[in-house]
Structure 1
């Protein structure tokens, strides 16, 4: 049975997107080309409560592609895959086509 991590509070579980190192025709790409630190949201927590007791939901949802800070987040290995856990406020934005 595969384990599933459900984040608590305002945390977001992200699988980082690794850009390809080669084109479809086999040309090697330099590491610096289009190095955008992004990831796919795998799971989100319910949010946090304000001082007044009102629930403030997480700003992103499962399946969103997000822009991540260069540093931060906690690395988590689950079912032989590597994920990162971020607080909602640490995510810089969402990416759209």
Structure 2
């Protein structure tokens, strides 16, 4: 299924968390927190300002971003969990 976000929304796929700590301890699923890092899969066209001009979104498809803990709405696309969130929910872009 293809999904195109509207306005200033983004489609983000969460990145997997390491299942082991640095010391080698395996973390069970019940103790894992959802990752706060993901890859931008799709970007909306941006929101409109008062004059009707489009304001472009500051992130691009393929970038790795950090987002707020309770950001976005969870959806499943072809069995893979994604988040639809506003650009304001993005905290930072991870530099390559």
What TM bracket, shorter-length normalisation?
A: 0.7 to 0.9
Distance in 1, matches of 2:6 and 2:89, equals 15
What is the Cα deviation at residue 36 of structure 1? 5.8
Match of 1:28? Answer: 25
Corresponding residue for 1:65?
64
Tell me how many residue pairs correspond in the alignment: 90
Ranges of 4+ aligned residues in structure 1 off by more than 6 Å: none
**Residues 1-97 of structure 1: matches in 2 within 5 Å?**
3-22=1-20, 27-30=24-27, 37-97=36-96
Distance 1:58 1:72, change over 3 A: same
> So what's the TM-score if we normalise by structure 2?
0.83
Q: CA deviation at 1:5?
A: 0.6
Gapped runs of 5+ residues in structure 2?
none
| Uncovered stretches (5+) of structure 1, i.e. residues with no partner | none
Superposed CA RMSD: 2.0
User: CA–CA distance in 2 between the matches of 1:36 and 1:84?
Assistant: 12
Report how far residue 14 of structure 1 moved.
0.3
